[in-house]
Every structure is written in structure tokens, then in C-alpha cells.
Amino acid sequence: MGVRDEPARDGPRHAGLRGLYPFLYEAPPGGTGMEPAVFAGAARSSEEKAMQIVRLRQEMAELSCERIADCAEEMAARFAEGARLFTFGNGGSSTDAQEVATTFLSPCAGDGLPLPALSLTSDVAVVTALSNDVSFDVVFARQLAALGRAGDIALGLSTSGGSANVVRAFEEASRRGMLTVGLAGGQGGRLTELAETGVLDHLFVVPSSSVHRIQETQTTVYHVLWELVQHALEPWHRDGEAA
Amino acid sequence: MPVASMQQLAREAFARRQTAGVAVMRDAALITRAAADMAARFRAGGKLVVFGGGAAGTDAAHVAVEFMHPVIVGKAALPAVALSNDAATVAAIGSGDGPDETFAHQVRHWAGPADIAMGVCRDGRCSSVARALQTAHELGLLTVALTGALTGTASPAQALPAADHLIAVASADPRLVKEVHVTTYHLLWELVHVFLDQAGEGLT
């Protein structure tokens, strides 16, 4: 059962809101002329959403900690063999692809081992050239065909699981013998089919219908993956330093 | 590496998110007030310029696309620009006037008094973000700061005096701070539309 984006409700749990935030029930500073009730309703809605994401993260932990550990083990083994990580996604998920790449490549000083990672969304010349000359569906697949090699890792994000260019990228990555990791939401969309047919090695589906809550939970999933990969690589890193 | 230990680490990592997640609820009022002021600026024709230090550049890009191309069908596109996207500009300013000027320079030459400046920083030490907020404040922009834990001053507000709205996440883990920031700016976007609608329509 997924956590749904529920409408804000009045109830006993909100009875203390006026006590906690009395200003919400007064005229806003600067006198924008808004109804105090609008403020109160908005703050209450935000509280509800904040609670939803806390619950959704808990649910995701229960659903996927075991599989996140497995995935991190495999990613770490690949990195130890010289793998590079390629990441991709559209819109808000493109910023997540960039976040994953920079997290792996440039962890804060002393925070972890830098690992080779590249986001396929960052080069506007390549993305617009492929979109203009061929099709937007191939913007990631073509880059993987040129840059990827067997043993590398492909990590793609799609809140719906239905992005055609993400699907095409996984198909290309799988053909090339790359480890494939997908993050999706809702029912998982096309990515669920790819996991069933073995194109996707790992798929994490956030059980929510809210794009925002899905993105927020995916952020946690890839950060936890990063943390576990770093942990799994510690012995390898120590051996490397000793050699 | 024993598998059980990796699973345990995963569970612990998720558990560490609890406290910061719950804190967003406590910040609901701060977020709501920031959104109300942002909505007033948008209504008056202002645009949002957003910038993030280091990896928080990804947040700036996310905020810009959130406002420009809403995920909820029917919501109006609002003008927003991320100042960290143009690698040529960022590198040019960095090598010319120094990295601390990266966003302040762009605010000075691209933004106006009616606009909104939002700075994202995962700790309290992004001097490029702090300087841009200061510049924006002097120009008369509304200033909003999303930060990590601010230390070394008597109050968070003293660390970033130029911020009209300061939402600080009390964690020293930059990844955890990012996760809370994503929720925060999703809420800001949603509430801006609520206030633009005024009647409270758009609450989902």
C-alpha cells in the first residue's frame, strides 16, 4: 500500500497549531491582505506532506534495505574492477543524475573515496545535437554506446518509470554488459518490465503517486547506495594504499 | 563484507533520516511565510534567480525547472533561472573575480529589485552563496536561504543576515541536508501556487 498524496485534514492532531504558530492566525506581516485561514491551511498542508515523506522513507526502508545492500555490493565490486558510473534522467531527475555523479566523483573532503562518475545530462551540446539530429529517445543510449564498456554501471532515474530515453539507455547498457540500476516511482512503469526481463539488474520503486515525494525518497535511496558502496570499498581502498 | 552488516548499515542510514524529516514539520510555518512573500513577488512580476554552492548547484537547477515546468498539469509556469548551469559563465567569473563572486556578479547584472534570490548551501560556509544573498539584499530583492546547520554564531540569522527567510537543516551530513532541501523547495513551490490562487485551491 503506497503513501498517497492525501488532502489536508482538520483533526485533533492540528488542534495545537494555533498555539504553536499564533502568527499564522494573524494578518501576515506587510499586510498582503491574505486571509489568515489561507496561511493556516497552507502550513497545515506542509506539515502533512512532511509527515508523508517521513512515512514513505520508512516504508521504502522496509521494502528495499536488503536489495539496496545487494546492489551496493555489486556496484562496489564493479568499481573495484575499474568500472565507471553513468547516470541519467529527465527534468528534476536530471538534477538527481547530476547529484549522483557528483556524490560519487567528488565527495566532501575526507568523506569518501572519489569514484569515476559522469552524468549524461550535463553536456548541452551533446544532448541537443542528439535530440535535434536523431531523437530525444536516444540522448542517453547513444552516449552509453560511445562511452560505456562491459563492467561499467548505468544508473537511471524516472519518477514514472516510463521515460523512453531512460528505457532505451538501459537496453543499450544491458547489451554492453553493464550493471544496470533503476530508480522509479508509482508502479515502476516500463522499468518494471525491464526488471522482469533481466534488462535491469536492480530496480527500486518508490510506492507513491506524488512526483515530489517520489523524488525526495529517491534522493535518500541513492545517498544510502553511495554510503554502502563507500563502506564496501573500504577494505579494497586500504589494500590499495598498502600496495 | 558480511551481507548482514551491509543491510544493517542501510537500515541505520534510513533511520538517521527520521529526525531531520520530522524537523520539516516544525519548519512548516517558516516555509509558509517564505512562500507567501515569494508569491507576492511573482504576482508583482518578479522572477526567481536561484544558486547553489558546490553540489547544491543541482538543487538550483531543480528549483528552476520546478517553477518553469510544473509537474502538476495546469499550474502556471513562473519565471526562474538557475545561476549555476552555465559552466562557461561560472568558470569565467571564477577565474576573473574569484569563485566567491560567481553568483553575486550574475545577480548584479541579471536581477532587479522586484526579483527573488534563493541561495542553497548544505553547510554555512558557501561564501559564493552568502555574497550573492548580500548583493541581492542590497539591491532590494527578496532573499531566501536554504542551508545546513549553521554554527559559530549566536543565532542562525547572524550567520546570514542578508536572508529575509532562512530555513536551516540541523544536520552536519550534506547528503541528509540535501534530502530535506528537496522537500523544502517542493513545499515552497506548492505553497507559492496556493498563495497565488489565494483561495487555497491547489492544495492536494
pLDDT score of A207: 97
Residue boundaries of the structural domains of chain B: 23-197
Asked whether residue A2 is assigned to any structural domain, the reply reads no
pLDDT score of A163: 97
Q: How confident is the model at residue B4 (pLDDT cuts 50, 70, 90)?
A: low
pLDDT score of A200: 98
Q: How confident is the model at residue B150 (pLDDT cuts 50, 70, 90)?
A: confident
Which residue from B10, B25, B182 is facing A47, i.e. has the nearest CB? B25
Which residue from B6, B176, B194 is facing A73, i.e. has the nearest CB? B6
Closest CA to B175 of A115, A224, A51, A55: A224
Q: How confident is the model at residue B125 (pLDDT cuts 50, 70, 90)?
A: confident
A74 inside 8 A of chain B by CB: no
Tell me what the pLDDT averaged over chain B comes to. 91
CB B111 within 8 A of CB B141: yes
Which residue from A29, A69, A92 is facing B10, i.e. has the nearest CB? A69
CB A76 within 8 A of CB B39: no
Nearest-Cα distance to chain B for A66, in Å, is 5
Could you name the CATH architecture of B23-197?
Answer: 3-Layer(aba) Sandwich (3.40)
List CB contacts (< 8 A) between B179 and chain A. 216, 219-220, 223
Asked whether residue A117 is assigned to any structural domain, the reply reads yes
Mean pLDDT of the B83-103 span: 93
Closest CA to B188 of B81, B31, B71: B31
Q: Could you tell me whether strands B48-52 and B116-120 are parallel, antiparallel, or unpaired per DSSP bridges?
A: parallel
pLDDT score of A7: 38
pLDDT at B35 over 90: yes
pLDDT at B157 over 60: yes
List CB contacts (< 8 A) between A99 and chain B. 55, 58, 178
pLDDT score of B123: 85
CB A146 within 8 A of CB A129: no
d(CA A161, CA A35): 40
List CB contacts (< 8 A) between A29 and chain B. 33
Asked whether residue A114 is assigned to any structural domain, the reply reads yes
b/e string for A119-130 if b means 16 or more Cβ within 10 A? bbbbeeeebeeb
pLDDT at B204 over 70: no
Q: How confident is the model at residue B199 (pLDDT cuts 50, 70, 90)?
A: very low
A137 inside 8 A of chain B by CB: no
Q: For residue B74, what are the contacts with CB-CB under 8 A and spacing of at least 6?
A: none
Asked whether residue A97 is assigned to any structural domain, the reply reads yes
CB A34 within 8 A of CB B199: no
Query: Domain count of chain A?
Result: 1
A233 inside 8 A of chain B by CB: no
- The residue among A6, A90, A212 with the most chain B CBs within 10 A of its CB, best to mutate, is A212
pTM of the model: 0.90
Q: Find the domain containing A209 and state its range.
A: 64-242
List CB contacts (< 8 A) between A72 and chain B. 6, 10
Asked whether residue A135 is assigned to any structural domain, the reply reads yes
Residue-wise pLDDT tens digits, B98-107 = 999 999 999 9
**Contact B14/A46, CB-based, under 8 Å?**
no
pLDDT score of A28: 52
pLDDT tens-digit profile, chain A (243 residues)? 333 443 333 333 444 445 544 555 454 554 455 678 888 888 898 999 999 999 999 999 999 999 999 999 999 999 999 999 999 999 999 999 999 999 999 987 678 999 999 999 999 999 999 999 999 999 999 999 999 999 999 999 999 999 999 999 999 999 999 999 999 999 999 999 999 999 999 999 999 999 999 999 999 999 999 999 999 998 877 666 554
pLDDT score of B156: 67
Asked whether residue A127 is assigned to any structural domain, the reply reads yes
A 22-41 residues with CB below 8 A of B?
23-24, 28-30, 32, 34-35, 37-39, 41
Q: How confident is the model at residue B86 (pLDDT cuts 50, 70, 90)?
A: confident
Longest dimension (CA), chain B: 59
CATH label of the domain that carries residue A191: 3.40.50.10490
